[in-house]
Structure 1
Amino acid sequence: MDVDRYMEAQRVSGFLVLKDGFVVLERYGLCRTVNDKWDSQSVTKSVTSILVGAAIQDGYIKSLDSLVTDYVHELKGSAYDGVTIRHLLTMTSGVKWNEDWNDPNSDACVELFSGGFVDGVDPTVAYMRGVSRADQAGAKFVYKTAETNLAGVLLSNAIDRSLSEYLSEKLWQPYGMENDAFWRVNSAGHEFGGLGICMSLRDYARIGQFMLEGGMAGDRQVLPPGWVADATNVRVTFEPESEEAESGLAGYGYSWWVLKNGYAALGHAGQAIFVYPQDRVVVAINSVWPEAQIEDNRKKRGAFVEALRAEAVAQQP
């Protein structure tokens, strides 16, 4: 299958390959152009993780082992007592959760579409303080979009400004992003930490390159030294028969998926940033996969991205 056939079959709106920071291939489909934005879905989680690292570097957050309730006081006395920021970023808080987006009564759907402030409390916080505990904190990985939404609220409280402002200050401006971006907000006007950043394809790729360069923006250390290695190392190991392992994922870091030879930010319906540090390669890709074809398309994307990586490595300097 050549590139054109793959893009048509997989409903790809664009992909871009960087090698050593230079574009080696860039293509668009579905009438998209170089400046058009695309919803990142859960790729946003990895961006929120970057901002948590920046807040630690800036001294707004003490450490990943700080308690969630130290920054979100309304959660005191809830299932989040004793839960750390590290637990949020690794999806190991131990709270009971249902992430089934096809069930309108699931925790994920109810939390996302909940109303505005509840007695002056952000709707994400209001919902999460009512969940129960299923496991000991740190014991089990359960994917929970709401916990990255909660990490966003925590982060906003710590920095005392919006996530959009902080993202602009720490990454968009100093790293020279090409286009403005948009970030969806909840009914209370707060950004969703777990989804909703809309940006151009080249700026997707720049996020990967920023990570590849160790969290530096020019001569500015945006992330703590060693943060990228820590965030993209295996913090959660998947069982061999798990859905994640069968998809070729080696583990989960701080809101980054760990690959056998790199790491990735992954979002629903085919949004992704793949980073291969040893090869100095970044692949950004956006798609719109039909719900029924997601599992099959994920496997086909893996083969496609691996072919792009191999070809980029084979290119002469």
Structure 2
Amino acid sequence: MKTWKKIGLVLLFILIVCCIWLYPKYKMVNLTMHLFDEDKIVTNFRSFDSIWPVSVLEAPSNKHIYSEGTPLNLPESFQFEGKDYNIQNFIEDSWTTGLLVIQNDSIVYENYYLGNTESTRNISWSMAKSFISALTGIAIEEGHINSIEEYVEVYVPELKGTAYEGVRIKDVLQMSTGVKFNEDYADFFSDINRWGRGFAMGNSQDKFAATLEREVEPGTVCHYVSINTHVLGMILKRATGKTITEYMQDKLYNPLGMEYDGYWLLDGTNMEMVLGGLNLTLRDYAKAGSLFLHHGFLNGKQIVSEDWVKASTTPDAPHVQPGNEFGYGYQWWIPKSEQGEYMAMGVYGQYIYINPTTKTVIVKLSANPKYNESSYVPSSDFSTLEFFRAIALPFQENEKDEDLISIVE
């Protein structure tokens, strides 16, 4: 009888240990399964560090604080596809959690919604890709990466024999790897959702990237594959000898003078979720926009080379040109425009909009549970673009007036 009691106690101990080990994974999987539920999405988007392992980006002592400009009254409405939309209704209907307008380097509009505040760190989703692009440009400038014409396997030899062998770094930057991938968030069985469930279980993103297959010739078709950005992260990590967090802390976070601590989500191998796991405040996202608006120069320093900023935001091949759809640069979205606009975009309504003509940066964070409803206008990237243009347009007129005054003087 004593033997059976001992066996029972051992089994109970093993069960308790297993439960302790599995519970964090259960919490992450459960969060993933209910991440976009209407009654949870807002809280989830600002609470990842309470569930997930993270690596912290520490706010430097030399913070860049935006000055306060003349307060902006948002326009009453904007037009999209021949219809008028009330701006305040659009803000509400797209589940906006933060909206910031920077004009000539000053804050002219800042508002928070649905419980977010100035210090709330919100998930970037794919806006993170534009930060990774900037880090890639810095790594090239510093000589860690020789050229974007090099093949992926030069820096990540474990991807030999996979869909990424023979793919140029430039093709990865331009989402033109030829990799077969389904990025449909509404499809439970899509590749992006398979990846998401694996990430929640702590699986290696490196190993997932190695499983993907080739569909078309690299450098010929722009097809959005989030894992491409993970491959850029693998290249950066190998080339610099630093984690993404360490390299970003030194090369972007400190020089930009971020106001608050930020963080990256980590997988089970402690690799950052570079394709969309950055969490920053509204104002700190804006600093990336200000950096690119000023051609890579901010706070008295050339942080990213001017050539890289130009190349990143200029589609240079037929298959990445804007038309009925957005064009694509080096991890930046390029709309058809006469004003040189470009955007960082993330699913469920995350945007950094930059208009070099009007000198405007707009950041919009959201938690839109209707994002996958294609007929729902507030979920459209194109309606949001027109929303941004309606805000920026008056500044274009102001710039013209100032130019006229300077000519007269």
Structure 1 and Structure 2 fold alike (TM over 0.5)? yes
TM-align CA RMSD: 2.4
Give 1:107 deviation, angstroms. Answer: 2.0
Cα distance between partner residues in 1 of 2:209 and 2:286: 33
Do residues 229 (structure 1) and 310 (structure 2) align?
yes
Matches for 1:180-191 after TM superposition, within 5 Å: 180-191=261-272
Residue 307 of structure 1: which of 359, 377, 390 is its match? Answer: 390
1:281 match: 360
Give 1:103 deviation, angstroms. Answer: 2.8
- Gap regions ≥5 residues in structure 1: none
Q: Which of these two proteins has the greater Rg computed from alpha carbons?
A: 2
Cα distance between partner residues in 2 of 1:70 and 1:116: 30
2:104 match: 20
Residue 117 of structure 2: which of 33, 45, 50 is its match? Answer: 33
Contact 2:358 2:393 (C-alpha < 8 Å) held by counterparts: no
Quickly say closer, same or farther: Cα 1:275–1:223, change in 2 above 3 A: same
Q: Which moved more, 1:104-113 or 1:278-287?
A: 104-113
Cα distance between partner residues in 2 of 1:166 and 1:51: 8
Residue deviations 1:159-195 (CA, integer Å, cap 9, x gap): 1111112111111111211111111112221111210
1:166 match: 247
Q: Which moved more, 1:296-305 or 1:175-184?
A: 296-305
Q: Counterpart amino acid of 1:308?
A: I
Q: Counterpart amino acid of 2:204?
A: P
Matches for 1:97-112 after TM superposition, within 5 Å: 97-112=181-196
Contact 2:295 2:305 (C-alpha < 8 Å) held by counterparts: no
1:50 match: 134
- Report the 3-state secondary structure (helix = DSSP H, G, I; strand = E; otherwise coil) of the residue aligned with 1:114: helix
2:23 match: none
1:207 match: 288
- Report the 3-state secondary structure (helix = DSSP H, G, I; strand = E; otherwise coil) of the residue aligned with 1:301: helix
Residue 291 of structure 1: which of 361, 368, 371 is its match? Answer: 371
Residue deviations 1:37-72 (CA, integer Å, cap 9, x gap): 111110011111111011111111111112110111
Cα distance between partner residues in 1 of 2:296 and 2:146: 19
Give 1:117 deviation, angstroms. Answer: 11
- Report the 3-state secondary structure (helix = DSSP H, G, I; strand = E; otherwise coil) of the residue aligned with 1:173: helix
Residue deviations 1:169-226 (CA, integer Å, cap 9, x gap): 1111112111111111122211112101111111111110011111124343222331
Q: Counterpart amino acid of 2:109?
A: L
Q: Counterpart amino acid of 1:9?
A: D
Q: Counterpart amino acid of 1:144?
A: V
Residue 83 of structure 1: which of 150, 164, 167 is its match? Answer: 167
Give 1:236 deviation, angstroms. Answer: 5.3
Residue deviations 1:238-277 (CA, integer Å, cap 9, x gap): 699xxx8445x2x100000112131100110110001111
Structure with a larger share of its residues in helix: 2
Contact 1:44 1:197 (C-alpha < 8 Å) held by counterparts: yes
Cα distance between partner residues in 1 of 2:349 and 2:211: 32
2:9 match: none
- The number of residues matched between the two structures is 309
Cα distance between partner residues in 2 of 1:288 and 1:245: 28
The normalised TM-score by structure 1 is: 0.90
Cα distance between partner residues in 1 of 2:199 and 2:312: 33
2:212 match: 131
Identity %: 30
2:235 match: 154
Contact 1:21 1:209 (C-alpha < 8 Å) held by counterparts: yes
Do residues 269 (structure 1) and 345 (structure 2) align?
no
- Report the 3-state secondary structure (helix = DSSP H, G, I; strand = E; otherwise coil) of the residue aligned with 1:174: helix
Contact 2:320 2:329 (C-alpha < 8 Å) held by counterparts: no
Quickly say closer, same or farther: Cα 1:239–1:152, change in 2 above 3 A: closer
The normalised TM-score by structure 2 is: 0.70
1:74 match: 158
Contact 2:127 2:344 (C-alpha < 8 Å) held by counterparts: yes
- Gap regions ≥5 residues in structure 2: 1-76, 78-85, 403-409
Quickly say closer, same or farther: Cα 1:79–1:292, change in 2 above 3 A: closer
Q: Counterpart amino acid of 1:111?
A: W
